Amino acid sequence: MNINTIGAMEKRGASGLVSGLDKVQAVMRVLEAEGVEFLNHGEPGVKLRRKDPA
């Protein structure tokens, strides 16, 4: 994933997203791997997953 791709996505915002599905999914996978949970059921948005106690 190129930093320019992310910058272009941010500049356009949600309504102007023109990146291909593969790029959007790649960004989502990276964010999910870092603990971001995408909410799609009655609570739109994102939140950080709780870390398991060590």
CA dihedral defined by 41, 47, 34, 26, rounded to 10 degrees?
40
Distance CA 27, CA 4 (A): 13
What confidence tens digit (pLDDT) does each residue in 14-48 have?
666 666 778 888 888 988 999 999 887 777 788 88
Global pTM value: 0.62
